[in-house]
Structure 1
Amino acid sequence: MDDNTSEDLPPHSRLSAGCTLCYEGAKLVLFLTGLCHRDCWYCPLSQERKNHDVIYANEHMISSPEEMIQVARRMSALGTGITGGDPFYFPNRLIEYAGALKKEFGSEHHIHLYTGMAPTEKIIKSIIGLIDEIRFHPPGELWSNLKDTPFHDSIQCAKKAGLDVGIEVPSLPNIDDLADYLPIIDFININELEWGDSNADEMRKRGYLLRGDVSNAIQGGWESAKKIASLPKVHWCSSDFKDRVQLRMRLRRIAANTAREFDEITEDGTIIYGVWECDGLRVTLPENLDNALFERYDDRIETGWWILEEIAGRIKGTAYYIERYPDNGIIIEVTPV
């Protein structure tokens, strides 16, 4: 494995069931709340999400289980990863949303959950049949003596309840402290430490530097993790892998289900189409243009980029190409015709 990047996937024997589905792009990402009982200095959440009680299904802000199900259906989700903030901040919400997923898609819909808390036995029992896999995120200062902390008790309760149990933490310098705990759990996921807007000041205070110009990854992350990452049960999840493989596979899946006839799906799973700003309900389009190849709106017409390119010299008004995430996702680039 290259010391500067680690885009290649380690052997599947090191992947939990939840990670396998993520690799295939088949998991809905349910962000259940931005609230958390902890305040980790390295938390990479955006300012729009961190410390805000908001719910997202993939990139869509939602307010109900029904909206979540709609998003899951549009990507043919085979499972869901629940994150935050901390999903246990609102246990009843967690039960409601996880229950809705199981009811809609069946018990085979795999749900994993990520938490920075050490939930009690009572709380663990409340999620039996709803959560298949739980990933604990204990603070770094506890890694060397995890058996003497509430996290150990919670982990034991989760194992007794029949859940797949792991630890998921960032690539901090003391990551090797967790090696002795491997026999007790099913897996360890190590996420490459990443720079974000909300943790930038803390990163600077600690002397961290970006690994490169086009990556949010921090220098030294892989170097800290490569010893423990060579052990069985350990999976290294690089920033490159999440951006170039995991996200791309999920976007492709969504695009295949939601793209219009005239949307071009790129290798990265984004879509490209043309926009003509005009009186979209009245202007005349070229004769014999199939209705499936354009959509009319009050202030514009959306169509294939190749169609817009062909008629650009004969129309009045602003025209441009848009590249964006599928399912009305974020706009990546706007290019004038």
Structure 2
Amino acid sequence: MLSEGCRLCHKGAKMVLFITGKCNKSCWYCPISYERKGKDNTYANDRPVKTPQDILDEARMMSALGTGVTGGEALLETERVVYCCRMLKKEFGKEHHIHLYTGTAPDEETLSKLTGLVDELRMHPPQELWKDIISTDYIKSAIKAKEMGFEVTFEVPSLPGLENLIPALPYLDHLNINELEWSETNAEAMRNMGYSLEDNYHNAVSGAKQWADKLISADSKVHWCSSAFKDSVQLRERLKRIAKNTARPFEEITEDGTVVYGFLTPESELPKDLDDSMYERFEDHIELSWWLLTDYPNDFPGEKKIIERYPNNGMIVEVTPVQ
């Protein structure tokens, strides 16, 4: 059975709050980008956070029903975590579900600071501790966290030796296994380990699913999260939520959550009967309904193209010239 946090992720309804890129561990498989790794910067989804209001604005923009707090190691900035979580709960209510990722095993003092603010604790015990997991502080922390009312999850990448985590299952509510992913920051380590990409379309590492199979079948608490799911379903649903709230009247929202519109560098004035809701004028160009450029090209002389991009002026996906 999925945790509430995972169910909301499936809907694309969780904002990702990246607290800091700082981390006191050096996991060879860490996929965090060079842009964020080791840097003490905060992001709400892909928005750099300059003020606390940026976090609230991003949550509203996607109609977030919850937040996933992550890093780096978020608990290196525990006070920042507490401040942000308290702000989110105050603004959106206790029902705004918050889960926190950490590579640490929080002690009672830290857990006390998070009580009432974090609903689900997701710990990542490093691979080298899996063989002796029962004797580690991660189990002690899991027991204490459950006593204090937290939902407790271990979340780990799919690596050899996952079956060593089976003894931990009685102490957990959930165990999430993320498909091992290839990234620019771990590519060299992946090659040194003899790993390769499963195909040319995804970041999944070949063999990662097989390492997880025994654990997946061991208990209903275990959940497999594939690279393809995170790249497609989860992201797509989040983009749809953002697009619904931010798309301009003339932008078309696609099934992937991107928006499509026309881009015109005009050679003359627009038709006089064109409704104001069908375009937006800029200093050197006009953005408008894309179908106007394809269905009535002679009415819009000038350089014409169709743009598909992430919503809210996000990354451009495709530019198609219109002849």
What's the TM-score once normalised by structure 2's chain length? Answer: 0.95
- The answer as to 2:242 corresponding to 1:254 is yes
Cα drift, residue 314 of structure 1: 5.2
The correspondence of residues 29-44 of structure 1 with structure 2, limited to 5 A, is: 29-44=16-31
Q: Is the 8 A contact 2:16 2:44 kept in 1?
A: yes
The match for 2:93 among 86, 92, 106 is 106
**Pair 1:53–1:311, CA change in 2 (3 A):** farther
Cα drift, residue 253 of structure 1: 1.3
Cα drift, residue 273 of structure 1: 0.9
Alignment-mate amino acid for residue 119 of structure 1: P
- For the residue of structure 2 that corresponds to 1:32, the secondary structure is strand
Q: Indicate the residue corresponding to 1:74 in structure 2.
A: 61
Q: Indicate the residue corresponding to 1:18 in structure 2.
A: 5
The correspondence of residues 163-312 of structure 1 with structure 2, limited to 5 A, is: 163-230=150-217, 231-277=219-265, 284-312=269-297
Cα drift, residue 287 of structure 1: 2.0
Cα drift, residue 135 of structure 1: 0.4
- Could you list the structure 1 runs, at least 4 aligned residues long, displaced by more than 3 angstroms after superposition: 310-318
Question: Which stretch of the first structure deviates more once superposed, 252-261 or 312-321?
Answer: 312-321
Question: Which stretch of the first structure deviates more once superposed, 327-336 or 108-117?
Answer: 327-336
Q: Indicate the residue corresponding to 1:10 in structure 2.
A: none
Aligned residue pair count = 321
Structure 2 residues without counterparts, runs of 5 or longer: none
Q: Is the 8 A contact 1:59 1:329 kept in 2?
A: no
Structure 1 residues without counterparts, runs of 5 or longer: 1-12
Task: Supply the distance in 1 between the matched residues of 2:206 and 2:38 (Cα, whole angstroms).
Answer: 27
Task: Supply the distance in 2 between the matched residues of 1:313 and 1:227 (Cα, whole angstroms).
Answer: 63
Q: Identity of paired residues, percent? A: 52
- For the residue of structure 2 that corresponds to 1:68, the secondary structure is helix
Q: Indicate the residue corresponding to 1:130 in structure 2.
A: 117
Alignment-mate amino acid for residue 242 of structure 2: I
Alignment-mate amino acid for residue 12 of structure 2: G
Q: Is the 8 A contact 2:134 2:167 kept in 1?
A: no
Question: Which stretch of the first structure deviates more once superposed, 307-316 or 120-129?
Answer: 307-316
Alignment-mate amino acid for residue 291 of structure 1: D
Alignment-mate amino acid for residue 22 of structure 2: L
Q: Is the 8 A contact 2:183 2:203 kept in 1?
A: yes
Q: Indicate the residue corresponding to 1:119 in structure 2.
A: 106
Deviations 1:33-92 (A, max 9, x none): 111111111111111111112211112112222111111111111111111111111111
- The answer as to 2:51 corresponding to 1:64 is yes
Cα drift, residue 319 of structure 1: 2.6
What's the TM-score once normalised by structure 1's chain length? Answer: 0.92
